[in-house]
C-alpha cells in the first residue's frame, strides 16, 4: 500500500499538482510518510519530512478551539485579562483586553504588519528570521508595543453588538 501512495504523490508532484508532506498514522504507528515537490519553487528547495510550513491564518481555528478547551477545563475564563495573564504589563496593550476580545478580534491590539497603513508583512522578517519564531510567544515582540488599531472600548462595543445579534 505504501508503494501505491508514494507513486501517487510522486506523480502528482511531477505534474505540479501537489507539493507538501504526507503523514498517515494509526495510533502511535507511522503507516506512511513522504515529502514531495518544493518548499520553495523559486529557490529549488525540495520538501522534506521536517520542512516547516507557513500555515498563516488557518491556525486561528486551532487556537480558538484550544482556548475554549482551557475555558471548559476552568483554566481560563472569557474574562481573563490578557495583559496580566501573559505578563505584558508596561506595553501599550489595554489592561481591559480579555480572552473574549481576542477570540472575537475586538481587542484593538495592533497587527504585526498593518497593511492598511502601508506596512508589508514580508518586512516583518527583515530584522528577524521567520525560523526564529518557535513558540507562539515569539510573535509578541512584533506587535505588543504598537499602538492599538482602535480603542478597546470600540472593540467591546462591537463584541456586545455581535453577541446581541447572535442571541436574537
Q: What does the DSSP assignment read for 67-84?
A: HHHHHHTTS--TT-BHHH
pLDDT for 166: 47
CA distances from 135 to 44, 54, 102, 131, 155 (A): 28, 14, 18, 10, 27
The answer on pLDDT for 70 being more than 60 is yes
Q: What is the mean pLDDT of residues 93-118?
A: 85
Diameter of the chain by CA atoms? 58
Tens digits of residue pLDDT in 52-66: 877 667 788 998 999
CA angle at residue 50 from 48 to 54, to 5 degrees? Answer: 95
C-alpha cell at 19: 507539493
Query: Between β-strands 29-36 and 45-46, what pairing exists: parallel, antiparallel or unpaired?
Result: unpaired
Among 53-67, 97-111, 132-146, 153-167, the range scoring the smallest mean pLDDT is: 153-167
Residue 101 C-alpha cell reads as 476580545
pLDDT tens digits, 146-158: 888 777 666 555 5
pLDDT value for 168: 47
Per-residue pLDDT for 144 more than 90?
no
**Would the pLDDT of 164 be above 60?**
no
Distance separating alpha carbons of residues 98 and 102, to the nearest angstrom: 7
pTM of the model: 0.60
pLDDT of residue 65: 96
The answer to whether residue 160 scores a pLDDT higher than 70 is no
Cα–Cα nearest to 143, from 156, 124, 162: 124
3-state secondary structure of 81: strand
- Report the relative pairing of strands 20-26 and 38-40 from DSSP bridges: unpaired
Amino acid at each position: 500500500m505504501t508503494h501505491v501512495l508514494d507513486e501517487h504523490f510522486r506523480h502528482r508532484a511531477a505534474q505540479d499538482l501537489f507539493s507538501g508532506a504526507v503523514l498517515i498514522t494509526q495510533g502511535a504507528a507511522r503507516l506512511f510518510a513522504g515529502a514531495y515537490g518544493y518548499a520553495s519553487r523559486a529557490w529549488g528547495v525540495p520538501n522534506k519530512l521536517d520542512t516547516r510550513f507557513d500555515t498563516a491564518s488557518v491556525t486561528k481555528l486551532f487556537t480558538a478551539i484550544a482556548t475554549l478547551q482551557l475555558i471548559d477545563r476552568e483554566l481560563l475564563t472569557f474574562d481573563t485579562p490578557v495583559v496580566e495573564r501573559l505578563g505584558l504589563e508596561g506595553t501599550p496593550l489595554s489592561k481591559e483586553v480579555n480572552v473574549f476580545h481576542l477570540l472575537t478580534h475586538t481587542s484593538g491590539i495592533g497587527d504585526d504588519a498593518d497593511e492598511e497603513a502601508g506596512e508589508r508583512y514580508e518586512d516583518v522578517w527583515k530584522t528577524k528570521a521567520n525560523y526564529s519564531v518557535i513558540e507562539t510567544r515569539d510573535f509578541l515582540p512584533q506587535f505588543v508595543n504598537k499602538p492599538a488599531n482602535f480603542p478597546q472600548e470600540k472593540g467591546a462595543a462591537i463584541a456586545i453588538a455581535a453577541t446581541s445579534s447572535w442571541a436574537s
